[in-house]
């Protein structure tokens, strides 16, 4: 028996992960497969803020001397940028709510009344959906063939990450991660704070253009020509505000109605009642003022040895059941063949005894007759030819052939001596006492006497 490996040498969960996620720092951080897009998103935030601080906020420091308000403009921009980048990192680097996979189909689900199993060669097939009640409203949950689990309500399988995610909202390409139950709050704070940052940079850049126009550059063209960075920031923030601002408004609506992006696009035209809507205020409280549930995975823990999966194919079991019966039939037919040979041997001995007192020619004639009889017996179909597909009827036919061979070959006064009975007894398969006495091969009786 193989000795279990020490815990320090066993493979960790994140090292044998079946999804498409990428892990860093020994499984402490989990990203999506497109984690490189996160760097692009960081650049889209960091570069404009750096340009704003270097070419716009620096000139505004001395425009508001009272209480050093000009420095506050620079500080607010830096703090907002750090806050947005932090929310982006938290959203992208944590478990969004991945549902644990199963090692085999759920056997306990077979006991549900609404699951009718169908046996097919190779596997068990059962319904892919079942109904559950959520707040008094029936909701269909689907079976995931990849994760081999029935998905909880509001759960969906992400084809990019190859994971089932609880309260799946969408897979965000800008974050490079699924947005689900555990990181949706941070995602909404990220897009809303990014919208605020865009509005702030846009407003301060416009303010600087206004100050230039009030000074030595009276026209808009001259002011923009003097500060091209302000013009670039105005255009950039205006475009970005359409995206992040639109996302903020859309997700505000989703939170107020307790929907996800997936549910909104998939069930918009169905007109079905929303089983999760608890009112606008309670919906916001559910998103922002509830504790984030812990991850269902311990990525740094060693992999635990799982119990062996139960057999999943009942049809195969039914096919294997007749093997014992088939073996018994074959053994019985072999015994019939051996009895046929014994009868032939006694036939030779009987002929020899009867012809013992005659002359040499008579004895040779008897031997020729015995050979003729054995040749005739050889033309009888052999027992082994009937064993290809044994069944009850074939067993009877083969046994009849054996009994006919005995009756034809053996003389009427055949006597089986004790030595032959011992040989026959040794050839018989061992059977429990409940199966004795055995059947007689000549007359099919159950006397136990040959």
By annotation, the residues acting in catalysis are 172
Report how far residue 308's alpha carbon sits from residue 342's, in angstroms, rounded to the nearest whole number: 52
Q: Which pair of structure tokens corresponds to residue 255?
A: 């939170």
How far CA 354 is from CA of 23, 46, 167, 367, in Å, comes to 95, 118, 97, 12
Q: Helix, strand or coil for residue 224?
A: helix
Report how far residue 163's alpha carbon sits from residue 144's, in angstroms, rounded to the nearest whole number: 10
How far CA 128 is from CA of 40, 102, 105, 140, 311, in Å, comes to 39, 16, 12, 10, 20
Report how far residue 96's alpha carbon sits from residue 18's, in angstroms, rounded to the nearest whole number: 16
How large is the angle between the packed helices 323-354 and 360-378, nearest 10 degrees? 160
Report how far residue 97's alpha carbon sits from residue 165's, in angstroms, rounded to the nearest whole number: 5
Report how far residue 178's alpha carbon sits from residue 161's, in angstroms, rounded to the nearest whole number: 8
Report how far residue 36's alpha carbon sits from residue 247's, in angstroms, rounded to the nearest whole number: 22
Which residue's structure tokens are 């704003």? 52
First vs last C-alpha separation in the chain = 51
Burial (CB < 10 A; 0-12, 13-18, 19+), residue 86, is middle
Q: What is the CA radius of gyration of the chain?
A: 44
Sheet holding 149-150, edge to edge: 129-134, 137-144, 149-150
């Amino acid at each position: 028996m193989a000795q279990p490996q020490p815990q320090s040498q066993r493979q960790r969960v994140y090292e044998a992960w079946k999804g498409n996620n990428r892990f860093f720092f020994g499984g402490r951080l989990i990203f999506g497969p497109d984690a490189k897009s996160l760097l692009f998103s960081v650049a889209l935030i960091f570069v404009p803020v750096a340009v704003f601080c270097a070419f716009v906020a620096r000139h505004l420091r001395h425009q508001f001397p009272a209480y050093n308000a000009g420095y506050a403009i620079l500080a607010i921009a830096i703090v907002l940028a750090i806050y947005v980048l932090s929310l982006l990192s938290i959203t992208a680097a944590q478990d969004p709510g991945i549902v644990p996979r199963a090692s085999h189909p759920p056997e306990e689900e077979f006991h549900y009344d609404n699951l009718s199993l169908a046996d097919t060669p190779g596997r068990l097939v059962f319904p892919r959906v079942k109904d559950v009640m959520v707040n008094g409203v029936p909701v269909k949950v689907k079976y995931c063939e990849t994760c081999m689990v029935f998905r909880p309500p509001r759960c969906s399988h992400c084809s990019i990450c190859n994971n089932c995610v609880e309260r799946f909202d969408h897979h965000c390409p800008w974050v490079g991660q699924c947005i689900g139950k555990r990181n949706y709050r941070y995602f909404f704070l990220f897009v809303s704070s990014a919208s605020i940052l865009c509005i702030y940079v846009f407003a301060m850049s416009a303010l600087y253009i206004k100050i230039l126009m009030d000074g030595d550059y009276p026209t808009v063209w001259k002011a923009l020509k003097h500060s091209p960075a302000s013009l670039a920031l105005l255009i950039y923030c205006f475009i970005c505000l359409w995206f992040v601002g639109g996302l903020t408004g859309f997700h505000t609506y989703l939170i107020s109605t307790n929907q996800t992006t997936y549910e909104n696009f998939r069930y918009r035209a169905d007109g079905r009642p929303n089983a999760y809507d608890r009112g606008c205020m309670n919906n916001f409280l559910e998103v922002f003022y509830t504790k984030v549930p812990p991850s269902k995975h311990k990525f740094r823990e060693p992999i635990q040895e799982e119990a062996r999966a139960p057999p999943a194919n009942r049809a195969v079991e039914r096919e294997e059941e007749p093997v014992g019966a088939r073996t018994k039939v074959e053994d019985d037919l072999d015994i019939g063949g051996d009895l046929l040979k014994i009868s032939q041997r006694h036939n030779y001995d009987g002929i020899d005894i009867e012809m013992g007192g005659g002359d040499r020619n008579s004895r040779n004639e008897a031997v020729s007759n015995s050979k003729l009889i054995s040749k005739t017996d050889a033309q009888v179909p052999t027992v082994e030819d009937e064993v290809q597909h044994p069944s009850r009827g074939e067993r009877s036919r083969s046994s009849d052939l054996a009994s006919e061979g005995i009756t034809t070959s053996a003389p009427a006064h055949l006597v089986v001596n004790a030595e032959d009975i011992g040989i026959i007894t040794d050839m018989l398969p061992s059977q429990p006492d409940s199966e004795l006495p055995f059947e007689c091969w000549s007359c099919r009786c159950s006397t136990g006497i040959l």
